[in-house]
Amino acid sequence: MKVINTIKEMQKLSDTLKAQGKKIACVPTMGYLHQGHLSLITRAKDFAEVVVTTLFVNPTQFGPNEDFERYPRNFERDCQMAESAGCDYLFAPDILEMYPIGFSCNVIIRNVTDKFEGERRPGHFDGVALIVAKLFNAVRPHASIFGQKDFQQTLVIKQMAKDLNFGIDIIIAPTMREPDGLAMSSRNTYLSKQEREDAIILFKALEEAKMAIDGGCRERKVINAIMHKTLRSVPQIKIDYASSALADNLDEPDTFLAGDRIVLLIAAYMGKTRLIDNSLVTIPKGK
């Protein structure tokens, strides 16, 4: 695996690979890789001969009181893990390479960013859209792989890629989980032992809601209430939101219809650590 640090070198390499008829898949990350990231790299091999993993902790998607400075970093570890998963190139620019002095551009996606993460973290998705657009222009891939855990983010990226005519296939891979169901995340390292044990309540809340839906529940507010009730069984948790919505556009009808594809979304604080999780469900017919 080769490490590349500049946009110019990355673009030149991409052009060379394409001239050789090779397909490129890109896996954007902020580093501190875990098994979930590695599954994306492995998945990328199904779509292209060459996999480029990007490693950049993007300051523009962090709010003023968020964890940019303490976000976990370990470059040597990330290199070893990426290579072990089959990554061919690691694109790891520094901040001045991505945001040089005088940089003044922004990318704003509307509608799908109006609620949930977009409402709780103002400006977050502007930063996500901007950095992903810049990474796409640097790597110039044929396809890019993202994890379902950041579900609303996947909708934002799909919209951006479509609206800005990137011509890149956006592929969403399932959320990787620990054996007890907790969604894998770099931020899980912030959790104390007790918080880590309690954190599985997010997964349990999603499962309770899915069981209710399978049993015939169709009312959005009732589904939401089931998730809230389950989450509140852990007194230490602070719920940010626990909501259900149509998966394609995040609309929130009062009642879901048979055949609707919906997403269950949770964001909650476990101590000082903010965790998110989600699950996709199709409303069954005939119940």
Indicate the pairing of strand 143-147 with strand 237-246. Answer: unpaired
Look up residue 11 and give its two tokens.
């673009």
Distance from C-alpha of 48 to C-alpha of 180, rounded to nearest angstrom = 32
Structure token digits, residue 91: 């694109």
Count of beta carbons in the 10 Å neighbourhood of residue 111: 12
37 is catalytic: yes
Annotated catalytic residue within 37, 124, 142, 228: 37
- Over the chain, what HEC string results? CEEECCHHHHHHHHHHHHHCCCCEEEEEECCCCCHHHHHHHHHHCCCCCEEEEEECCCHHHCCCCCCCCCCCCCHHHHHHHHHHCCCCEEECCCHHHHCCCCCCCCCCCCCCCCCCHHHHCCCHHHHHHHHHHHHHHHHCCCEEEEECCCHHHHHHHHHHHHHCCCCCEEEEECCCECCCCCECCHHHHHCCHHHHHHCCHHHHHHHHHHHHHHCCCCEHHHHHHHHHHHHCCCCCEEEEEEEEEECCCCCCCCECCCCCEEEEEEEEEECCEEEEEEEEEECCCCC
Looking at residue 33, its amino acid is L
| Residues classed as catalytic | 37
